[in-house]
Amino acid sequence: MKISRLSAVAAMALALLGFAAVPAEAASTPNIVGGSTVTTAPSWAAAVGDSSGMWCSGELVASQWVLTAGHCEGATQIRVGSKNLNSGGTLAKVSKWVKNPQYNGSGYDFSLYKLTAAVSQTPIQIATTSPATGAKVTLYGFGQTCPTRGCGDMSSTLRQLSTTVAGDSSCGGIVGSVELCFSTTVSGSDCYGDSGGPAVVNGQLVGTDSRGADGPGADTCGKTKSIYGDASSSSISSWVKSTVAAG
């Protein structure tokens, strides 16, 4: 069962409006369970949502573009550069949404939001190579801080979690050419509301939160390992660059 990291609130709101934010079997997004609250937010940190609130995470990859998950559809505003979900940083309006054309529910789970104007915050750089199995990685997100679906709201502050890259064979349903598998547990995991949030190695972006791996108990964050889109793969980084360049 594929469980995306879209917040339960967002999934419900989109369903009421008649939109399928994610495939039927992938109904929600996570926040960081465990880990710690950041002291100061990275300049590129982003919370993605609309006038009802924020429901996905993301990262500034160019002065006018935010990268998030492909299933984080429908945002109208994005807060950039704040550790607080609902205040600080720059609250920017959205002018355009571009979903990766190869996204079909698993694999290529990326989209880009263009802001109405450039922001002053410094974007994160995308790594040029994928991290090796065993490499240390830091996950960031505003998702819920308890592991069971619907157990809590988005975190009011940005959280971070240190973990490692796991082998592809540890993540059921992974599309290995464009996705990464991370070691997570019920006491330390990305969770609902973290969708689109970054995985960072040595200060560079390597992944974007997609979903929990297939397997028993996958609707509980950390019961299975976590799947992130591989932003550092050549096909994804090239798509980001060409989309930004096209405007």
CA distances from 134 to 34, 35, 131, 165, 167 (A): 20, 19, 8, 5, 8
Question: Which residues lie closer than 8 Å to 137 by C-beta, 6 or more apart?
Answer: 131, 162, 163, 164, 165, 182, 199, 200, 201, 206, 207
Amino acid in the structure at residue 216: P
Q: What are phi and psi of 220, to 5 degrees?
A: -100, 125
The angle formed by the CA atoms of residues 68, 194 and 43, to the nearest 5 degrees, is: 65
How much is the pLDDT for 28? 34
Residue 5 has pLDDT above 80, yes or no: no
How much is the pLDDT for 39? 95
Superfamily of chain region 1-247 = Trypsin-like serine proteases (2.40.10.10)
Cα of first residue to Cα of last residue in the chain, in angstroms, is 36
Average pLDDT rounded to a whole number, residues 63-72: 98
pTM: 0.89
Question: For the chain, what is the mean pLDDT?
Answer: 89
pLDDT digit string (tens) for 22-61? Answer: 332 233 333 478 789 999 999 999 999 999 999 999 999 9
pLDDT digit string (tens) for 84-122? Answer: 999 999 999 999 999 999 998 889 999 999 999 999 999
Residue 8 has pLDDT above 80, yes or no: no
CA distances from 198 to 34, 83, 116 (A): 16, 14, 22
Running DSSP on this structure, what letter comes out for residue 169?
A: G
Domain boundaries, the chain: 1-247
